[in-house]
Chain A
Amino acid sequence: QKEVEQDPGPLSVPEGAIVSLNCTYSNSAFQYFMWYRQYSRKGPELLMYTYSSGNKEDGRFTAQVDKSSKYISLFIRDSQPSDSATYLCALGRAGGSYIPTFGRGTSLIVHP
């Protein structure tokens, strides 16, 4: 079992839909959680960063962490065609000496 599992998709939704993107992990040493967005032929860019269980909201984006279930989610409300991209989760360990472990990314397509 990989340390971080993420369904590659593609996930295709109509404009305006609520999107749910998920990652599961196996190592309870992961203490902080990130979501990156990667447009085609671009580098990943950080969207959300959270340390704790619960929800963190930023505009149309909500990151949710459930450490007891080892499950993290990114919700996108009122999805737009411009949200079409690959979304990668990245999980890091406490201590500052570790490189985050990336999921393989979920490809999202929002069609008009």
Chain B
Amino acid sequence: DTAVSQTPKYLVTQMGNDKSIKCEQNLGHDTMYWYKQDSKKFLKIMFSYNNKELIINETVPNRFSPKSPDKAHLNLHINSLELGDSAVYFCASSLQMGNEQFFGPGTRLTVL
């Protein structure tokens, strides 16, 4: 059983396009997260949702818009993609804020 799943696994697109990444967790967790991992492997928090409510929004361009239709899903929409958006995006969940996190397999985004 996949605990935290993301789609798609790979995404290759042109600069200026709009794309979405989907995340689902079947762990019954209240909190979900989006992280960006750059080429140097540094894992940087982008957003955190607790029970569908946005809790943390780090310094992220407003081209990035998360949406949580229910507490098991957290999607990430990116408008007007730029070269610097190329990275691996990880979704994660935890029972509550501050607890250990379970990560999805990642979405490798390449912007050409």
Which A positions have Cβ atoms within 8 angstroms of B? 8, 34, 36, 38, 41-46, 49, 86, 88, 90, 92-93, 95-100, 102, 104-105, 107
Known contacts: A44-B90, A99-B33, A99-B56. The answer to whether A104 contacts B102 by CB under 8 A is no
Query: Smallest Cβ distance from B56 to chain A, in angstroms?
Result: 6
Interface residues on B, range: 20 to 34
A104 — nearest CB in chain B belongs to which residue? B42
How far, in whole Å, are A87 and B41 apart by their CA atoms in the complex?
Answer: 11
Residues in chain B near residue A34, CB distance under 8 A: 100
Which B positions have Cβ atoms within 8 angstroms of A? 4, 33, 40-43, 45, 48, 56, 90, 92, 96-106, 108
Known contacts: A97-B98, A98-B97, A99-B97. The answer to whether A44 contacts B40 by CB under 8 A is no
Contact A105 B97 (CB under 8 A): no
Contact B98 A99 (CB under 8 A): yes
Contact A95 B98 (CB under 8 A): yes
Contact A45 B97 (CB under 8 A): no
Contact A43 B103 (CB under 8 A): yes
Known contacts: A96-B97, A99-B45. The answer to whether A46 contacts B33 by CB under 8 A is no
How far, in whole Å, are A45 and B33 apart by their CA atoms in the complex?
Answer: 15
How far, in whole Å, are A102 and B41 apart by their CA atoms in the complex?
Answer: 11
Query: Smallest Cβ distance from A8 to chain B, in angstroms?
Result: 7
Q: Which of B43, B56, B103, B105 has the most CB of A within 10 A?
A: B43
How far, in whole Å, are A29 and B3 apart by their CA atoms in the complex?
Answer: 30
Q: Which of B56, B92, B99, B100 has the most CB of A within 10 A?
A: B100
Contact B40 A98 (CB under 8 A): no
Contact A8 B105 (CB under 8 A): no
| Across the A-B interface, the 8 shortest Cβ-Cβ residue pairs | A43-B103, A96-B98, A102-B43, A104-B42, A105-B41, A44-B103, A43-B105, A46-B100
B45 — nearest CB in chain A belongs to which residue? A99
Q: Which of A34, A46, A104 has the most CB of B within 10 A?
A: A104
